[in-house]
Chain A
């Protein structure tokens, strides 16, 4: 549990972090809460030569209301998202998802941006950002851009984030009603299945994490939604990369996805 040697640099601004990222390229990794990267480094599964710490950058640690959106800074900790009044009022589903992450020690360190950038397929936020139709705000050498949640997750631990880019914020459209329902893996407490459901006029938007290699919107179920929960049977329709491990094989995971979409719709 001793990481390989690395250089540690504390960035004081997003601009400085991006400069450092450009300078060190492949050898560098951004760290914020460190709750995904540091364990991997301790097992020497990850051996970056340079760590660029963005934890102290205050400009991406804010939560603000902008019209119909809530802009949540990437550096906000999971714990902050569980208690922030603006989050609870406007995107409560995000607060619910944050509350399901790890334990209080993890929630006090881990951040929204860090979790999204890591893109663990069993992490909790993807379901929520998908269901909310959130946009991920990223900044790189060539400036700032936004990526739709549906375009952001590309594979296991793979995102649309460019090599020189850092997530700075996530823009959540305000939600009238939403819920996050999770079936915990008994060892890791990651999601075997995590379902976020958000009211969208008469319709519903459903984000699913933990089930497939890439978190997804359960669009077939969304389209079949009739105000009840019977559309949950379509929770995995069209999904071809359902994960399997010794806790949950493909059959059981698919079944759980249906159960949890149903539970989410009933909780709406």
Chain B
């Protein structure tokens, strides 16, 4: 019988995507649907003196125009995570209004929504809304926002801090260890702000059914149930059972579609006001201005070493911008998703991270592929490579000296870090060893030496990352400030004919759940993949869900499905035992049938399914039907790890970096579909390379975004990227039934420092020790001149 786990099964989803037959929100056209356009602020910080909608209201096709003065102006979207100040003061959490009423706090903030019969009419009328602004000085830089006298983003508070936070060992102990260290390496840099750039911009349709008194919200989200909960209970105060949230196909999210956005709530509110459906689809400019950004940390760090090169202490201070308002997960990103990774894969005995999180006159910052972990990894992997150079050691050798020894989490216990987490299982030296072999490290060093003599600048950069995925045990995150549980729901409904419908609270927006989930369900039930259908993205179909982010779908969502599969098999065994007139314990289940051990007496999964729904000859007292739903709350995070190695060439005349090779040896635990894992790694690597070399959101002093289009925001393209060479080791996760760790973010976490380390390595003989990301030709060239 054909099995599917571990095989590169082609993605079921791709046929419809490749044929343009996906069902994206903007594809949906409802009867009587209206269209909307937003009037957005051109200023980063301004008082709104007046808004005049009289001309716009008379414009052809206009149905309604709302501003902050209407009753929607009292609503605001909430933050989902609370991080209080170190001194106990509560996190400063401003109202994030659906429409700005008196004050503008970032460019692109909405001041009015115009609803019209057609999109063209909505846009034309939006042009006619007259807003009188009084422009005010703005602050967009996280560090400058904390300087005395900086313009205040929210005047309710004396400074711009939203919270501050620290993790790890006692600061004084860390400082003392640094003071007595044999060598201390220091770094100061900015982990620059990035725009997530999903190919499908955000899109919503809110549809209020006047007769039923119910709302349907079609939304391009990673997180339909959570959007419903926030929308109903925390924003509009409408009954949750009267709201259906639907999220069919979603064209990428990378984090930016986790969050509950003001437009979703406003459209939902307005559709009841006008009694008609309303659509809004962001254009690319709006996406740059209003989708939550990623990163934006200003970092100052010291790492101390003993004579042998063992790390003795690590101290870091960071300013991490929140933007003007706190987005759904924003406070968690530079804290619990970041500081908890400061152990890396090393035995560092003393660690302290201090974070200050200021408001800035910019759009909000939140989780973007990796979320806090790329920032932690970038710091660790850069500072270790810098230290190696300073101590005249090979960067690979320095890493081998400091690795946590291998542990499987079963026979050897998990590794307790200095920063709260306990790693599940890992073999860090092995992935580096393999990575070095793949790249031919020793031979490359010779090639590099020879090339330098000919004026050719080659470099190699290593990154040995770890990340925390599979978020998360609800009680743990609850104690850390999360305002939600982070379990997942998986239901398995066996139809009378033995066909299987699986309902998952995970949400696929490119990951391939319809394929991978069907692979393991088919295997566990011993049936064909074609007999398994995966349903997601509709709150009326799936009992509940916490959505997809943090590489959690397979490890948490998949585990919930496995629990339901086990319940199906358990109940099926009772029916089979009855039909076969045998004891349950005498049965074994394999290849889609129950067999009485040691006999040829058996009954198929299909026959048991039919019996469950036609229970004429049936176990006494057993309920009919074969349909189970399960909640799975993980007991720990999962910890994928790996080694990424980049080889670059730098054009000595222009500073332009060419990525020559990229080697990735990752360990994501057990692998369900190697093709999809490779694809996830490759995609993540490309995003990480984008951060290293190309991408940056730039705000000028006045708060204008000067990188708000693809003319100015450089995305990686196919011709920027060499063939990514992938390999993997397998260290199963010991605490979930599939032994999986997650692969969605690893590429973006491991790759960035590998590329920057490679460029710095190429220029090391010129005295270059660091270059700010992105490593544009100009920055590299200027570094070479100094």
Q: Within 8 Å CB of A44, what residues of B? A: 127
Residues of A within 8 A of B707 (CB): 187, 246
B710 touches A188 (CB 8 A): yes
Q: What residue in chain A is nearest B281 (Cβ atoms)?
A: A1
Chain A, residue nearest B118 (CB): A2
Give the complex CA separation of A43 and B288 in angstroms.
14
- With A252-B778, A256-B654, A259-B654 known as contacts, the answer to whether A186 contacts B283 (CB < 8 A) is no
> A255 vs B780: C-alpha distance in the bound complex, in angstroms?
13
What is the interface of chain B mostly: helix, strand, loop, or mixed?
A: loop
With A5-B124, A43-B285, A246-B707 as given contacts, are A188 and B778 in contact (CB-CB < 8 Å)?
no
Does A226 make an interface contact (CB < 8 A)? Answer: no
Give the docked Cα–Cα distance between A49 and B88 (Å): 61
Q: Which residue of A lies closest to B37 (CB)?
A: A2
Which residues of A lie under 8 Å from residue B176 when comparing CB positions? none
Q: Is A237 an interface residue (CB 8 A)?
A: no
Contact assessment for B124 and A186 in the assembled complex, using a CB-CB cutoff below 8 Å: no
Complex contacts, A247 vs chain B, CB 8 Å: 776, 778
Spot the interface stretch: B242-250, B368-376, B423-431, B711-719: B711-719
Complex: A255 Cα to B127 Cα, angstroms: 43
Q: Tell me the bound Cα distance from A247 to B695 in angstroms.
A: 11
Q: Cα distance A247–B779 when bound, in Å?
A: 9
A58: Cβ under 8 A from any B Cβ: no
A256 and B777 CA atoms in complex are apart in Å by: 10
Q: By the criterion CB–CB under 8 Å, are B124 and A4 in contact? A: yes
Could you tell me the distance between the alpha carbons of A43 and B708 in the complex, rounded to whole angstroms?
12
Type the 1/0 row for B564-606, where 1 means its CB is closer than 8 Å to any CB of A.
0000000000000000000000000000000000000000000
Most chain A CB within 10 A, of B654, B694, B713, is at B654
Q: A187 to B285, Cβ gap below 8 A?
A: no
Check A187–B712 contact: CB distance below 8 A. yes
Instruction: Classify the interface of chain A: helix, strand, loop or mixed.
Output: loop
Count, chain A residues at interface, CB 8 A: 20
Chain B residues positioned under 8 Å from A259 (CB to CB): 653-654
Tell me if A2 and B120 are in contact (CB < 8 A).
yes
Task: State whether the Cβ of A151 lies closer than 8 Å to any Cβ in chain B.
Answer: no
Q: How far is the CA of A43 from the CA of B710 in the complex (A)?
A: 13
CB-defined contacts of B782 to chain A, threshold 8 Å: 252
A225 within 8 A of B: no
The interface residues of chain B lying within 8 Å CB-to-CB of A246 are 698, 706-707, 712
Nearest B residue (CB) for A193? B654
B171 is an interface residue with CB less than 8 A from chain A: no
Docked complex Cα distance between A252 and B785 (Å): 11
Q: A186 near B778 (CB under 8 angstroms)?
A: no
- Closest B residue, CB atoms, query A262: B653
Q: How far is the CA of A187 from the CA of B712 in the complex (A)?
A: 5
Asked if B284 is at the interface of the complex by the 8 Å CB criterion, the answer is yes
Question: A186 touching B285 by the CB < 8 A rule?
Answer: no
User: What residues on A are CB-neighbors of B656 within 8 Å?
Assistant: 183
Given contacts A43-B285, A188-B711, contact A183 B654 (CB under 8 A): yes
A1 to B26, CA, bound (A): 14
List residues of A (176-208) whose CB comes within 8 Å of B's CBs: 183, 185-188, 190
Q: Which residues of A contact B776 (CB under 8 A)?
A: 186, 247
* A188 adjacent to B283 (CB under 8 Å): no
Instruction: Known A187-B711, A249-B778; judge A1-B694 contact (CB<8 A).
Output: no
16 A-B pairs within 8 Å (CB atoms) are namely: A1-B283, A1-B284, A2-B123, A4-B124, A43-B285, A183-B777, A185-B714, A186-B694, A187-B711, A188-B710, A246-B706, A246-B712, A249-B778, A252-B782, A256-B654, A259-B654
Q: Which residues of A contact B (CB under 8 A)?
A: 1-2, 4-5, 43-44, 183, 185-188, 190, 246-249, 252, 255-256, 259
Beyond A1-B283, A259-B654, 6 additional contacts (C-beta under 8 Å) are A4-B127, A5-B120, A187-B712, A247-B776, A248-B777, A252-B777
Task: Give the A-binding residues of B (Cβ under 8 A).
Answer: 119-120, 123-124, 127, 283-285, 653-654, 656, 694, 698, 706-707, 710-715, 776-778, 781-782
